[in-house]
C-alpha cells in the first residue's frame, strides 16, 4: 500500500483496499494528434483541456498522455531534452498545471509517459558527456571505447543502419542507442543517474500528477560486458536487450525511494516480456510497479505477415493463439493485476488489425472489440479514436510518413536495393503513423482538429467517422462505447470477477466466463466476418443480456448460440450453487 499523503490536488482514492487503478480505464492520448487549440497544426495541452468534458461525459477517468516534455522530436517526444519543461509545441507549464487542475476538478487523473531508458542527444547531460571521457556526465551513458575494437553487434530499432552503436569522435568511443541515434541510452548502473531520474519523478508527483507510464522500462539494466550475440542460442535477440541483471533491483529501489511514498499508478511498458517474467514487475509483494503493459496482442503474427489476405475463418491472425496468450497473462498475474489493449500509438488501428475496417463491418467489428477490451479481466488501455472506429490511413508514399521508424527502415531497404513497394504495402497495415492521424472531431475542414494543415494528414474517412456525427447517432461506435463504459461502472463485479477461457480452440469465437461472488458473466465474441456457432458450457437459462452489438441480441435459449459476423454478446447468468466448485474471484 502507498502510505504517504496525497499529492496536492490529487483526487481522492477509494476508501477500500482495492486500488483505484484496477477499476479504471486508461485512456491514451497522443497529444500531437488530439486537438490543436492555437492553429499551428499540432495538438496541444489546451486542446486536451478544452475536451475534458467530452471525455468525462464518455465516462473516462484516467488519461495517459504520451510524452509532453521538451524534445527535438526525433521520435515525437520519446527523445527528451529537458524533463522539467513542457514541449513548446504543446504549450507551457502553466497550461499543464491548468490541465491537471481541470482534470482533478472533474475527478479525472493524469499519467505522464516518462522515458527513463534514454534521453535525447540534445539533453544537456549528453551534450556534456560526448565532449570527453573525463567529463562527469560521460558515465551517465553507455560507451564502448575504440581501443577495444568494434563493439559487439547490437540492433537498434530505429537506426538507418539498424546499428545500436554510434561513433563519437571527441571521446573515441561508441555510444549505445537501442532506438534512434538521437536517443542515447542512460547508464542506470551509475547511482547518480538513478537519483537524477527519481528527482524528476518527484518533481512531477509534487505537481500532483497521478502516475506514470514508464517507457521501455525492461531495457534499463544492461550487461555492460556486451557479450557477442549467440544467434544459435537466442534466435530472438531480446534476451540481450531486456531484463538485464539489475532490472528488478532498480525497480525496487525506485519503488522504495519514490513510488511507495505517493499515491500514484505506475504502468511499465513490457515489450518482449513473457507472462512469467511479467509477474515479477507487478506482484504486490515485490514492491516494483503496479501494472505492466504487455505486448501480447502486438506480438501475434499476422498469417500474411502484415499484408492483406485471408484465412478459412476469415481472420488474418490465429485467434486461438491470442486467447491462450490472454489466458496465460491472466494466470501469470497472480495476486497482481493484468492489462489489456489492442492498439496504441505504436500499433495500427485496432479495427484495421483485429476487426475489419471495410464500410460493411467497421462499426460492428469496432463495437465487438470494444466489448472485448471492456469485459476482460484487467485494466483496459484504450487508445483515443478507437471509440470512433478510426481506421488505418494507409499512406501510399514514403513522404507522407512522419515516423522515424518507417522512414529510416525505408531508407535502409532502398539503399540495399530491397523491395520498397512491398515495405510500403506492409506499412499500410502495421506502420505506426496509422494510429497517429488527427482525432476526428467533426466533418469540417481538417476534421475539426485544427484550423491549419495538420502535421500528419487526416484520414479522409473523417466525414463519416467523427465524434460530432457519432455523438448524435445512438447506433454509432461512440454511443456503444459510452454504454459499455457505463455498464462497467454499474457492474463492479464484472470488472473484479475471475476470468475463465471457454472453447480455447474455437477458431472464430473468443468466449469467456467472468465469475464473481454473486453473479457470473458470459462473453461471446465472434472475431470473424463469417457466422459461427458455440456451445458455451454454461447454463444459459434465465440469462440476462446486458450488451450486444447488433440491433437484436442473439437468442440464448438453446444449448448452442449462433453468432453473426463480428457479433458480440455479454450476459449475466446465475451464479452456481457454492457446491458446484465455483472459482473465486482472485484479489
Asked whether the beta carbons of 48 and 91 are under 8 A apart, the reply is no
CA–CA distances in Å: residue 359 to residues 362, 461, 558: 6, 10, 32
> Which CB, 78 or 341, lies closer to ligand GLC?
78
| Nearest distance, CB of residue 456 and ligand GLC, angstroms | 14
288 touching ligand GLC, by CB under 6 A: no
How far is residue 3's CA from residue 312's CA, in Å, rounded to a whole number?
54
185 touching ligand GLC, by CB under 6 A: no
Closest CA to 26 of 319, 323, 351, 386: 386
> Which CB, 269 or 290, lies closer to ligand GLC?
269
> Which CB, 201 or 529, lies closer to ligand GLC?
201
403 touching ligand GLC, by CB under 6 A: no
Q: By beta-carbon distance, which residue lies closest to ligand GLC?
A: 78
| Nearest distance, CB of residue 140 and ligand GLC, angstroms | 17
Closest CA to 96 of 55, 39, 49, 52: 49
- Residue 365 φ/ψ, nearest 5 degrees: -75, -35
> Which CB, 113 or 567, lies closer to ligand GLC?
113
Asked whether the beta carbons of 330 and 321 are under 8 A apart, the reply is no
> Which CB, 66 or 549, lies closer to ligand GLC?
66
Element (H, E) at 496: helix 492-496
How far is residue 279's CA from residue 201's CA, in Å, rounded to a whole number?
24
| Nearest distance, CB of residue 72 and ligand GLC, angstroms | 14
Q: DSSP letter at 180? A: -
Q: Which residues pair with 380 in a beta bridge?
A: 340
> Which CB, 226 or 295, lies closer to ligand GLC?
295
In the list 86, 100, 115, 511, the residue contacting ligand GLC (rule: CB under 6 A) is 115
| Nearest distance, CB of residue 12 and ligand GLC, angstroms | 31
How far is residue 396's CA from residue 403's CA, in Å, rounded to a whole number?
14
| Nearest distance, CB of residue 555 and ligand GLC, angstroms | 43
Q: Please provide the size of the chain in residues.
A: 587
Closest CA to 267 of 65, 30, 15, 108: 65
- What string marks each residue from 122 to 161 as x (binds ligand GLC by CB under 6 A) or -? ----------------------------------------
Asked whether the beta carbons of 190 and 139 are under 8 A apart, the reply is yes
At how many degrees (to 10) do helices 191-207 and 247-257 cross? 40
Q: How many CB atoms neighbour CB 587 within 10 A?
A: 10
216 touching ligand GLC, by CB under 6 A: yes
| Nearest distance, CB of residue 213 and ligand GLC, angstroms | 9
Alpha-helix runs per DSSP H in 467-552: 467-471, 477-490, 492-496
Query: Quick check: is 269 catalytic?
Result: yes
- Residue 161 φ/ψ, nearest 5 degrees: -100, 0
> Which CB, 269 or 515, lies closer to ligand GLC?
269
> Which CB, 179 or 449, lies closer to ligand GLC?
179
How far is residue 281's CA from residue 284's CA, in Å, rounded to a whole number?
9
How far is residue 317's CA from residue 440's CA, in Å, rounded to a whole number?
28
CA–CA distances in Å: residue 477 to residues 348, 384, 386, 485: 18, 13, 9, 12
346 touching ligand GLC, by CB under 6 A: yes
CA–CA distances in Å: residue 188 to residues 117, 202, 220, 254, 280: 8, 18, 6, 12, 19
The single residue of 61, 79, 89, 269 carrying the catalytic annotation is 269
Report the DSSP pairing between strands 291-294 and 211-215: unpaired
The single residue of 89, 215, 386, 493 carrying the catalytic annotation is 215
> Which CB, 46 or 183, lies closer to ligand GLC?
183
In the list 69, 179, 204, 395, the residue contacting ligand GLC (rule: CB under 6 A) is 179
| Nearest distance, CB of residue 216 and ligand GLC, angstroms | 5
| Nearest distance, CB of residue 421 and ligand GLC, angstroms | 25
At how many degrees (to 10) do helices 275-282 and 319-332 cross? 40
Closest CA to 5 of 260, 211, 263: 263
Residues 415-454 that bind ligand GLC (CB under 6 A): none
Count residues binding ligand GLC (CB under 6 A): 9
| Nearest distance, CB of residue 215 and ligand GLC, angstroms | 5
- Residue 486 φ/ψ, nearest 5 degrees: -65, -40
In the list 36, 95, 210, 215, the residue contacting ligand GLC (rule: CB under 6 A) is 215
- What string marks each residue from 51 to 80 as x (binds ligand GLC by CB under 6 A) or -? ------------------------x--x--
Q: For binding to ligand GLC (CB under 6 A), which residues are involved?
A: 75, 78, 115, 179, 215-216, 269, 345-346
Catalytic residue numbers? 215, 269
Amino acid at each position: 500500500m502507498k502510505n504517504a499523503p496525497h499529492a496536492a490536488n490529487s483526487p481522492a482514492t477509494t476508501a477500500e483496499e482495492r486500488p483505484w487503478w484496477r477499476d479504471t480505464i486508461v485512456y491514451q492520448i497522443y497529444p500531437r494528434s488530439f486537438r490543436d487549440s492555437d492553429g499551428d497544426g499540432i495538438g496541444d495541452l489546451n486542446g486536451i483541456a478544452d475536451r475534458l468534458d467530452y471525455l468525462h461525459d464518455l465516462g473516462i477517468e484516467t488519461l495517459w498522455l504520451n510524452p509532453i516534455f521538451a524534445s527535438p522530436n526525433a521520435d515525437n517526444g520519446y527523445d527528451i531534452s529537458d524533463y522539467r519543461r513542457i514541449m513548446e509545441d504543446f504549450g507551457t507549464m502553466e497550461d499543464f498545471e491548468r490541465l491537471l487542475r481541470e482534470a482533478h476538478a472533474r475527478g479525472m487523473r493524469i499519467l505522464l509517459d516518462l522515458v527513463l531508458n534514454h534521453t535525447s542527444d540534445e539533453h544537456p547531460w549528453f551534450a556534456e558527456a560526448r565532449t570527453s571521457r573525463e567529463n562527469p556526465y560521460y558515465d551517465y551513458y553507455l560507451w564502448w571505447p575504440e581501443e577495444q575494437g568494434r563493439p559487439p553487434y547490437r540492433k537498434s530499432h530505429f537506426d538507418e543502419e539498424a546499428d545500436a552503436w554510434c561513433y563519437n569522435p571527441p571521446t573515441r568511443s561508441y555510444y549505445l542507442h537501442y532506438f534512434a541515434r538521437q536517443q542515447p541510452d542512460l547508464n542506470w548502473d551509475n547511482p547518480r543517474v538513478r537519483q537524477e531520474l527519481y528527482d524528476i519523478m518527484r518533481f512531477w508527483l509534487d505537481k500532483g500528477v497521478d502516475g506514470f507510464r514508464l517507457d521501455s522500462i525492461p531495457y534499463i539494466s544492461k550487461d555492460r560486458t556486451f557479450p557477442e550475440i549467440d544467434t544459435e542460442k537466442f534466435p530472438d535477440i531480446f534476451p540481450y536487450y531486456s531484463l538485464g541483471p539489475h532490472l528488478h533491483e532498480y525497480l525496487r529501489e525506485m519503488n522504495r525511494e519514490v513510488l511507495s511514498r505517493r499515491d500514484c499508478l505506475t504502468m511499465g511498458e513490457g515489450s518482449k516480456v513473457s507472462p512469467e517474467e511479467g509477474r515479477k514487475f507487478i506482484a504486490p509483494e515485490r514492491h516494483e510497479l503496479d501494472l505492466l503493459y504487455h505486448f501480447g496482442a502486438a506480438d501475434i503474427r499476422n498469417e500474411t505477415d502484415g499484408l492483406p489476405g485471408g484465412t478459412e475463418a476469415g481472420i488474418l491472425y490465429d485467434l486461438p493463439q491470442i486467447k491462450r496468450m490472454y489466458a496465460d497473462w491472466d494466470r501469470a498475474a497472480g495476486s497482481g493485476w493484468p492489462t489489456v489493449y489492442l492498439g496504441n500509438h505504436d500499433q495500427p488501428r485496432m479495427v484495421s488489425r483485429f476487426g475489419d475496417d471495410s464500410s460493411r463491418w467497421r462499426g460492428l467489428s469496432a463495437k465487438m472489440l470494444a466489448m472485448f477490451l471492456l469485459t476482460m479481466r484487467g485494466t483496459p488501455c484504450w487508445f483515443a479514436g478507437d471509440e470512433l472506429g478510426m481506421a488505418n490511413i494507409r499512406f501510399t508514399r514514403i513522404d507522407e510518413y512522419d515516423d522515424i521508424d518507417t522512414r529510416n527502415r525505408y531508407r535502409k531497404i532502398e539503399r540495399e536495393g530491397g523491395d520498397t513497394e512491398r515495405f510500403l504495402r506492409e506499412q499500410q497495415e502495421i506502420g505506426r503513423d496509422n494510429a497517429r492521424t488527427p482525432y476526428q472531431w467533426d466533418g469540417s475542414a481538417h476534421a475539426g482538429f485544427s484550423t491549419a494543415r495538420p502535421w500528419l494528414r487526416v484520414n479522409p474517412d473523417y466525414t463519416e467517422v467523427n465524434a460530432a456525427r457519432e455523438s448524435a447517432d445512438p447506433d454509432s461506435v461512440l454511443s456503444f462505447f459510452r454504454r459499455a463504459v457505463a455498464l462497467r461502472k454499474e457492474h463492479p463485479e464484472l470488472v473484479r470477477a475471475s476470468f475463465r477461457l471457454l472453447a480455447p480452440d474455437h477458431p472464430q469465437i473468443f468466449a469467456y466466463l467472468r465469475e464473481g461472488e454473486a453473479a457470473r458473466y458470459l462473453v461471446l465474441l465472434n472475431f470473424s466476418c463469417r457466422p459461427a456457432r458455440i456451445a458455451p458450457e454454461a447454463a444459459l437459462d434465465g440469462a440476462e443480456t446486458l450488451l450486444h452489438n447488433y440491433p437484436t441480441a442473439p437468442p440464448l435459449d438453446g444449448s448452442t448460440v449462433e453468432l453473426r459476423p463480428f457479433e458480440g454478446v455479454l450476459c449475466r447468468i446465475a451464479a452456481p450453487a457454492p457446491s458446484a466448485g465455483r472459482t473465486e474471484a482472485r484479489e
